[in-house]
A and B are shown apart, each in its own frame.
Chain A
Amino acid sequence: GAGVSQSPRYKVAKRGQDVALRCDPISGHVSLFWYQQALGQGPEFLTYFQNEAQLDKSGLPSDRFFAERPEGSVSTLKIQRTQQEDSAVYLCASSLGPTGDGYGYTFGSGTRLTVV
């Protein structure tokens, strides 16, 4: 695709509900990143994939968070038993090279998750 596509754009979840957020990166991009952005803050790193391999998941806040990219393209971020502190915008980004290319990367429009 022409850009990084994320869905849904907005998600309201009841506390305790499981959610799945989808990211469709730019075609051919090797690297995929998930970031979490709380209101009024900069993005916080969650996890990094190089093709289908999850090379770094050190930023995932708890074991309720799980990410996968089984075929090296589309990625899903799953949050189990959502809690109010999970409310944030979840940003996906991709880049062509195996790292950030030194030039940063391109973000999708994000998914705004609100846990009520």
Chain B
Amino acid sequence: QKEVEQNSGPLSVPEGAIASLNCTYSDRGSQSFFWYRQYSGKSPELIMFIYSNGDKEDGRFTAQLNKASQYVSLLIRDSQPSDSATYLCARYFSNYQLIWGAGTKLIIKP
């Protein structure tokens, strides 16, 4: 199976709080995972990738991967209104093809 599952949202978070976005996948062979941000009417832009179990931090963003439970999450600390967007989770299906979730719409309320 190729599926990558995300809650479509919208997820509403107050400004300054932590936004938590989750993604589950069904293929235990999946190795690399990506979080992309997509503003309305724009193309996806890469935020983070992760391939090892555990946490990976980059500025206000932390990606978490748990291969045993088959989920990957993205935490956004100190959420800003500019973080309002759709967040897409993706994994490699082959060594070049990405399989995508449908995305979670995040709304940061001032």
User: Interface of A with B (CB < 8 Å)?
Assistant: 31, 33, 40-45, 48, 56, 59, 91, 99-100, 102-110
Contacts and interface: CB of A to CB of B under 8 A. Distances in A.
Interface stretch (B57-65, B66-74, B93-101): B93-101
A109 B51 CA distance: 27
A100 B33 CA distance: 12
Contact of B36 (A44, A56, A104): A104
7 nearest CB pairs, A to B: A42-B100, A107-B43, A99-B95, A99-B96, A104-B46, A104-B34, A100-B96
Interface residues of B, number: 26
B44 interface: yes
Interface string B16-44: 00000000000000001010100000111
A48 B90 contact: no
Interface in B94-110: 94-103
11 contacts: A40-B8, A42-B88, A42-B100, A43-B98, A43-B100, A45-B99, A48-B97, A100-B92, A100-B96, A103-B46, A107-B45
**A interface, by DSSP: helix, strand, loop or mixed?**
loop
| Most chain B Cβ neighbours within 10 Å, of A33, A40, A59, A100 | A100
Contact of A44 (B43, B49, B95, B100): B100
A42 B102 contact: yes
Interface of B: 4, 8, 32, 34, 36, 42-46, 49, 51, 88, 90, 92-103
Contacts of A40: 8, 102-103
A11 B78 CA distance: 39
Given A42-B88, A42-B103, A100 B46 contact: no
Nearest to A91: B43
Contact of B97 (A45, A108, A109): A45
A109 B43 contact: yes
B96 A31 contact: yes
B43 A104 contact: no
A31 B100 CA distance: 19
